[in-house]
């Protein structure tokens, strides 16, 4: 297919490489703690460890933030698991509510971090809206909220009048507002964390892909041109762990999510869709769509399709069939925008789990390799908070968050069962979403 029809960038709309790329790892080095992965989790862990006086070194295959932390849509959301009602139903009121409080506290922690390190990341504290696009989605949204509303969760139902009052596009009929969180410029946020880590004295080695991790009483991290030896290690690679290091394959799935962004809207175009606020929106589909207005007035959207490569490899980034579906759906949601150009498509790999809950723990005979992964697309606040939590665990502390996340789960099946199971689930959910979208299209044609 002609790639000019779908302008694609391999990196991210949000990012250009910083002008102070750090030297790659050369020769044999030592530190107290080595962190593999320079995204939200790794950088926040490094910052906490430096606060405690720990000699910490971070190894990153590209530059810090060039993975999922700099490629996402920028929604700061308190969603935990598949959604809040499902989480409470699965784990019971007491523990389920503890997960919800964790997700809300993660947003507070994120807000603390950007204040503490003076990171200007265009944070709009407007919340996000889970929006229904057809009447058939109303009952599930409303009933699910009613089941948990008495528990004090920071969510409330918005009917048609409330949606119109907030100045939301007419495609989004009603919804549930998450009262905390909002949207950010994820590139500015992760690069702000990077600058804070450098200023704090974290040794960062960029363009240093890890080729091998040697377990033992000390951990040795190998790259092509050097080694780092440390008493303890934090694996903060998320989707890249299974794909590139062969680690956590039984716990997480690396899947590709695609996004797009339009050119900036004119004033007339913005008025035509009546999107006057800054709330982020994701739809009440099984495989949700997300939309938001960027700081420079573009519409950014995506998700709806996930792509998994057999054997937990990294799926190819150029996904023309996915791009085609994203564009068609976008134009159905915003018909007054006509053929406004989509300037680029991009995406990234996230770590999914079958129960939509993050995983954490220790690896190796000596249990000196800690890991955290699998936020299932909710990683901005949660990875930011858990980086600090992982640092405390490395230092010997016992945290409530780690205790909370210790729950039994079935390991993922090996291939080919893993591929078959994911594609069966994905196909079923996509079929349900197509039924809703057909009803929306039929109503629009009347």
Residue 80, pLDDT above cutoff 70: yes
Other C-beta atoms closer than 10 Å to the C-beta of 131 total 28
Q: Which of 98, 412, 103 is nearest to 255 (CA)?
A: 412
Residue 3, pLDDT above cutoff 70: no
**Average pLDDT value for residue range 52-78:** 97
Measured between alpha carbons, how far is residue 412 from residues 6, 252, 290, 355, 419 in Å?
34, 8, 28, 10, 10
**Average pLDDT value for residue range 149-162:** 93
Q: Which residues contact 427 (CB under 8 A, 6 or more apart)?
A: none
pLDDT at site 329: 97
Q: Which of 389, 380, 384, 385 is nearest to 68 (CA)?
A: 380
Contact (CB, 8 A) for 100 and 85: no
**Average pLDDT value for residue range 116-134:** 97
Per-residue pLDDT tens over the stretch 360-404:
999 989 999 999 999 999 999 999 999 999 999 999 988 889 888
pLDDT at site 429: 94
Contact (CB, 8 A) for 214 and 365: no
Provide, rounded to the nearest whole percent, the portion of the chain with pLDDT above 70.
99
pLDDT at site 444: 87
Q: Indicate the fold that domain 27-120+183-248+354-412 takes in CATH.
A: FAD/NAD(P)-binding domain (3.50.50)
pLDDT at site 4: 58
Return the ∠ at Cα 357 (arms to 351 and 361), rounded to 5°.
80
User: For 386, how many CA atoms within 13 A lie in the half-sphere containing its CB?
Assistant: 31
Terminal-residue alpha carbon distance, the chain? 34
Provide, rounded to the nearest whole percent, the portion of the chain with pLDDT above 90.
87
Per-residue pLDDT tens over the stretch 164-199:
999 999 999 999 999 999 999 999 999 999 999 999
- Band (pLDDT 50/70/90 cuts) for residue 412 is confident
Q: 156 forms bridges with which residues in the sheet?
A: 177
Other C-beta atoms closer than 10 Å to the C-beta of 42 total 32
Query: What whole-number distance in Å separates Cα of residue 291 and Cα of residue 280?
Result: 6
Return the ∠ at Cα 105 (arms to 100 and 108), rounded to 5°.
140
**Average pLDDT value for residue range 41-64:** 98
pLDDT at site 352: 93
pLDDT at site 1: 36
Q: Which of 65-69, 84-88, 102-106, 257-261 has the least mean pLDDT?
A: 84-88
- Band (pLDDT 50/70/90 cuts) for residue 130 is very high
**Average pLDDT value for residue range 53-71:** 97
User: For 57, how many CA atoms within 13 A lie in the half-sphere containing its CB?
Assistant: 24
Q: Which of 220-224, 309-313, 407-411 has the least mean pLDDT?
A: 407-411
Query: What whole-number distance in Å separates Cα of residue 76 and Cα of residue 119?
Result: 15
pLDDT at site 65: 97
Residue 276, pLDDT above cutoff 90: no
Per-residue pLDDT tens over the stretch 214-260:
999 999 999 999 999 999 999 999 999 999 999 999 999 999 999 99
Q: Which of 72-76, 81-85, 367-371 has the least mean pLDDT?
A: 81-85
200-227 b/e (C-beta count within 10 Å ≥ 16 → b): eebbbbbbbbbeebeeeeebbbebeebb
pLDDT at site 31: 98
- Band (pLDDT 50/70/90 cuts) for residue 2 is very low
Q: What is the mean pLDDT of the chain?
A: 94
pLDDT at site 402: 87
């Amino acid at each position: 297919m002609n790639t000019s029809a779908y302008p694609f960038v391999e990196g991210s709309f949000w990012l250009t490489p910083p002008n102070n790329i750090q030297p790659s790892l050369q020769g044999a080095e030592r530190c107290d703690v080595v962190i593999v992965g320079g995204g939200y989790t790794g950088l926040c862990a490094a910052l906490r460890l430096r606060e405690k006086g720990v000699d910490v070194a971070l190894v990153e295959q590209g530059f810090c933030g060039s993975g999922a932390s700099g490629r996402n849509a920028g929604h700061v959301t308190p969603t935990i698991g598949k959604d809040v009602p499902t989480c409470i139903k699965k784990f019971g009121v007491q523990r389920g509510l503890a997960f919800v409080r964790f997700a809300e506290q993660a947003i507070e922690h994120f807000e603390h971090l950007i204040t503490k390190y003076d990171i200007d990341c265009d944070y709009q504290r407007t919340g996000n809206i889970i929006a229904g696009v057809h009447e058939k989605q109303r009952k599930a949204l409303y009933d699910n909220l009613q089941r948990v509303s008495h528990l004090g969760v920071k969510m409330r139902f918005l009917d048609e009048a409330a949606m119109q009052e907030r100045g939301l596009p007419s495609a989004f009929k009603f919804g549930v507002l998450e009262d905390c969180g909002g949207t950010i410029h994820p590139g500015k946020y992760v690069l702000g964390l990077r600058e804070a880590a450098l200023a704090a004295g974290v040794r960062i080695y960029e363009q240093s892909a890890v080729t091998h991790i040697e377990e033992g009483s000390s951990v040795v991290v190998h790259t092509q041109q050097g080694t780092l030896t440390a008493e303890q290690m934090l694996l903060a690679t998320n989707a890249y762990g299974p794909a590139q290091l062969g680690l956590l394959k039984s716990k997480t799935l690396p899947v590709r999510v695609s996004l797009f962004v339009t050119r900036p809207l004119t004033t007339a175009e913005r008025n035509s869709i009546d999107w006057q606020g800054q709330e982020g929106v994701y739809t009440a589909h099984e495989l949700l769509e997300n939309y938001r207005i960027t700081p420079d007035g573009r519409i950014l959207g995506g998700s709806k399709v996930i792509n998994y490569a057999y054997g937990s490899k990294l799926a190819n980034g150029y996904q023309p069939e996915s791009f085609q579906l994203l564009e068609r759906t976008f134009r159905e949601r915003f018909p007054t925008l006509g053929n406004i150009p989509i300037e680029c498509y991009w995406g990234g790999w996230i770590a999914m789990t079958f129960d939509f809950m993050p995983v954490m723990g220790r690896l190796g005979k000596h249990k000196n390799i800690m890991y955290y992964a699998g936020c299932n697309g909710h990683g901005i606040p949660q990875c930011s908070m858990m980086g600090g939590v992982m640092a405390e665990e490395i230092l010997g502390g016992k945290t409530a968050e780690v205790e909370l996340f210790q729950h039994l789960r079935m390991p993922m099946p090996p291939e080919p069962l893993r591929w078959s199971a994911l594609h069966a689930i994905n196909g079923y959910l996509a079929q349900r979403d197509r039924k809703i979208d057909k009803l929306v299209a039929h109503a629009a044609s009347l």
